[in-house]
Structure 1
Amino acid sequence: MAEASKLKAWISAARLRTLPLSISGILVGSAYAYWGLYQGKLAKSTLENLQKEKVYNQLSNNLRNEISEVLDLYLSDFNFLIPILALITTLGFQVLSNFANDYGDGVKGTDNEDRIGPMRALQSGIISPVEMKRGMVITAILTLISAILLIYVSLGIDRLLISLFFLALGIAAIWAAIRYTVGDNAYGYRGLGDVFVFIFFGPVSVMGIFYLITKVVNWQMIFPSITIGLLSVAVLNLNNMRDIESDKKAGKNTIVVKMGLAKAKMLHIAFVSIAFISTISFFFVHYSDELWNRKIESPSIIIFLPLLAFIPLFVHLLKVKRTKSPALLDPELKKVALSTFFFAILCVVSVWILA
């Protein structure tokens, strides 16, 4: 019975409900990387047909240059091992972050009877601080090994400087996961958690996996990076709104504690609204690009399919606006996290239909 209770405590500490959100950026970046490589193959096929028909030399210089650019950028094959390793690595980072959060808040006394939500592992006493620390070390080592494998499979040793850059990002992610609540100068206690969540869940995740798969920096990907980053911050913001009273007592100065609940709600609405605008911008830029360059036969409104994920998010905003008690915001955490994951799944589905 004791072993079963401890296993349940470890599973609880891993916070499985946070995992779909953590991999959303990887799914989005991988989907559009696949789409980019598909376009490259389509352009290559078009070029081969034109050459067979002996009309390639009759094309305008601009059109030939466009075809050449696409071929130069997107001629590699989609290696499914890269996103698989990226998913494993990201899950490792998230579990490490959850363990560290449990440990940091537990030893600081932030997790107490005033806290709203499920009881944490350290708070329950089933897992000791020493055991949690050991779990953090093991998770960090396994995650770093997975990150190194990811970098090697994607970049090999030919791109040494870029490989070192991604390795530095991996080490930084481990540092960020631990230092969120652990240590005397934990950045989560100084209102900086939102910044780090945006960076690592947004641009690092989306643009990082896109590059690892395609070896191309595509600045259009900044739009979905912003979307995933802001929606991830919205989840953290909700969590901090829910815990505003207990955080105040524990001296955890989140942005919500600093600005108050009313302004935090306005900020929350801004996060989701800007995420929506960023998504719209990406799809229209992408759609216009497809139409102008004729990289696909007929641009489809299927591109806009992921926008459906914002329907529950806008319903959620009405709920947040009307909610007076912070405790009642707890169910909304799952709604935003799952809506973000739904957005990522719809990105994958839309690309699968189009390709």
Structure 2
Amino acid sequence: MSAPVEGAAPRATPAQWVEGARPRTLPAAVSPVVAATGVAAYTGGADLPVALLALLVSLALQVGVNFANDYSDGIRGTDAVRVGPLRLVGSGLARPATVRAAAFACFALAGVAGLALVVLTGHWWLLAVGVACVLAAWYYTGGRRPYGYAGLGEVFVFVFFGLVAVCGTGYVQTGHVDAALLLTAVWVGCLTTAVLVANNLRDLAGDAAVGKRTLATRLGDRGTRLFYVGLVVVAALALVGVAALTTAWVLLALLALLLLAGPVRAVLGGARGRDLIAVLKATGLAGLAASLVSALALVLA
């Protein structure tokens, strides 16, 4: 794979830009909003325009962080040996500055949608939460001391794509955070974090070779595999808790987690490299399916 050259003419096609945005990660942005809106609907507080704005914020942040990671990893050279999806900077298909600008454009879109959300709901203190989300997105692999290189990526994913995204979406619709919403944040956060764990397990050898100290490189191969399974188990238990607090129909969402039977076997069976790409995809889709089923059950209840 060729090294990125700052002055080289960009060669990425529109299709490659779409691939560089990593659309397979988008379920991680949709799931929190869908699941939280289901809980809001159960209490009679669902607000569709507010939910759609929250969804736009979440999607823009997800694509923004994907481009930001592409840029930061690319200029550091940590994408030089890679098994996963196309990286625009690391492959030399786009100028680093162009990819960085794409990331900032996404963050700006998230900021505009977030401002509209704040104006609509009147919760001005959420502006600080929005700023924190953008900073977390950028400094995951950006800046002089990226926390993603310090083994903290999973913690921040759980916090921002679980607790913040779910509780924030529910709060702007109902004005409060209850136990059912908090448990929903836990199971959504666990499944989203499991996607990152599978990703880092796939890249474990390459990351270790270039000194990228992800949690996977710290836990080691076996520890990372057990961590993935543990996240799935905790997600299932939290779903049961939501059902106990709301309606038993939420238990149907556990059927969506059956999609993870194969991935769990693959992870425990020692799958590596490209074999883990299917695990990534299935984990994201299982989280989205569980969110849809849970939300539908709560709406109908």
Q: TM bucket by the smaller chain?
A: over 0.9
When residues 308 and 141 of structure 1 are mapped into structure 2, their CA distance, relative to the original with a 3 A threshold, is same
Among 1, 5, 17, which residue is 1:10 paired with?
17
Q: Highest Rg: 1 or 2? A: 1
Q: What secondary structure sits across from 2:195 in the alignment?
A: helix
8 Å CA contact 1:9, 1:127 repeated in 2: no
Q: 1:235-292 deviations in whole A, cap 9, x for unaligned?
A: 00000000001101111101110121011111111111111111112211324xxxxx
Q: What secondary structure sits across from 2:13 in the alignment?
A: helix
Whether 1:123 and 2:90 are equivalent positions in the alignment is yes
Give the distance between the partners of 2:177 and 2:291, measured in 1 at CA: 20
Structure 2 equivalent of residue 103 of structure 1: 71
Q: What secondary structure sits across from 2:176 in the alignment?
A: coil
Q: Please report how far the alpha carbon of residue 324 of structure 1 lies from its aligned counterpart in structure 2 after TM superposition.
A: 4.4
Structure 2 equivalent of residue 342 of structure 1: 289
Aligned length: 293
Letter in 2 for 1:275: A
Structure 2 equivalent of residue 91 of structure 1: 59
Give the distance between the partners of 1:273 and 1:142, measured in 2 at CA: 35
Superposition RMSD in Å: 1.7
When residues 13 and 275 of structure 1 are mapped into structure 2, their CA distance, relative to the original with a 3 A threshold, is same
Give the distance between the partners of 1:118 and 1:140, measured in 2 at CA: 22
Give the distance between the partners of 1:105 and 1:33, measured in 2 at CA: 38
Letter in 1 for 2:73: D
When residues 255 and 342 of structure 1 are mapped into structure 2, their CA distance, relative to the original with a 3 A threshold, is same
Give the distance between the partners of 1:303 and 1:117, measured in 2 at CA: 34
When residues 136 and 29 of structure 1 are mapped into structure 2, their CA distance, relative to the original with a 3 A threshold, is same
Give the distance between the partners of 1:5 and 1:313, measured in 2 at CA: 34
Identity of aligned residues (%): 31
Runs of 5+ unmatched residues, structure 1:
38-76, 156-161, 288-300
Structure 2 equivalent of residue 145 of structure 1: 112
Higher-helix-fraction structure:
1
Q: Please report how far the alpha carbon of residue 312 of structure 1 lies from its aligned counterpart in structure 2 after TM superposition.
A: 1.4
Give the distance between the partners of 1:311 and 1:6, measured in 2 at CA: 37
Q: Please report how far the alpha carbon of residue 350 of structure 1 lies from its aligned counterpart in structure 2 after TM superposition.
A: 1.4
| TM-score normalised by structure 1 residue count | 0.79
When residues 3 and 187 of structure 1 are mapped into structure 2, their CA distance, relative to the original with a 3 A threshold, is closer
Whether 1:323 and 2:273 are equivalent positions in the alignment is no
Give the distance between the partners of 1:78 and 1:238, measured in 2 at CA: 33
8 Å CA contact 1:244, 1:326 repeated in 2: no
Give the distance between the partners of 2:226 and 2:136, measured in 1 at CA: 27
Among 205, 209, 227, which residue is 2:169 paired with?
209
Q: What secondary structure sits across from 2:177 in the alignment?
A: coil
Letter in 1 for 2:54: A
Whether 1:311 and 2:272 are equivalent positions in the alignment is no
Structure 2 equivalent of residue 36 of structure 1: 43
Give the distance between the partners of 1:309 and 1:213, measured in 2 at CA: 26
Give the distance between the partners of 2:128 and 2:108, measured in 1 at CA: 15
| TM-score normalised by structure 2 residue count | 0.93
Q: What secondary structure sits across from 2:159 in the alignment?
A: helix
Q: Please report how far the alpha carbon of residue 79 of structure 1 lies from its aligned counterpart in structure 2 after TM superposition.
A: 2.6
Among 82, 89, 107, which residue is 2:50 paired with?
82
- After alignment, is 318-327 or 8-17 more displaced? 318-327
Q: Please report how far the alpha carbon of residue 323 of structure 1 lies from its aligned counterpart in structure 2 after TM superposition.
A: 2.5
8 Å CA contact 2:22, 2:85 repeated in 1: no
Give the distance between the partners of 2:169 and 2:294, measured in 1 at CA: 15
Q: Output aligned runs, 1:138-217, within 5 Å.
A: 138-155=105-122, 162-164=123-125, 166-217=126-177
Give the distance between the partners of 2:26 and 2:276, measured in 1 at CA: 20
Letter in 2 for 1:335: A
Whether 1:242 and 2:242 are equivalent positions in the alignment is no
Give the distance between the partners of 2:162 and 2:242, measured in 1 at CA: 14
Give the distance between the partners of 1:264 and 1:340, measured in 2 at CA: 19
Whether 1:282 and 2:242 are equivalent positions in the alignment is yes
Q: 1:25-77 deviations in whole A, cap 9, x for unaligned?
A: 1100011101101xxxxxxxxxxxxxxxxxxxxxxxxxxxxxxxxxxxxxxx6
8 Å CA contact 2:162, 2:186 repeated in 1: yes
Give the distance between the partners of 1:95 and 1:258, measured in 2 at CA: 27
Structure 1 equivalent of residue 6 of structure 2: none
Q: 1:205-254 deviations in whole A, cap 9, x for unaligned?
A: 11111110011221332111110101111000000000001101111101
Q: Please report how far the alpha carbon of residue 23 of structure 1 lies from its aligned counterpart in structure 2 after TM superposition.
A: 1.4
Whether 1:25 and 2:45 are equivalent positions in the alignment is no
Runs of 5+ unmatched residues, structure 2:
1-8
Q: Please report how far the alpha carbon of residue 86 of structure 1 lies from its aligned counterpart in structure 2 after TM superposition.
A: 0.4
Give the distance between the partners of 1:22 and 1:78, measured in 2 at CA: 18
Q: 1:146-183 deviations in whole A, cap 9, x for unaligned?
A: 1110111122xxxxxx422x111111110111111112
Q: Please report how far the alpha carbon of residue 304 of structure 1 lies from its aligned counterpart in structure 2 after TM superposition.
A: 2.0
Give the distance between the partners of 1:101 and 1:81, measured in 2 at CA: 30
Give the distance between the partners of 1:22 and 1:255, measured in 2 at CA: 22
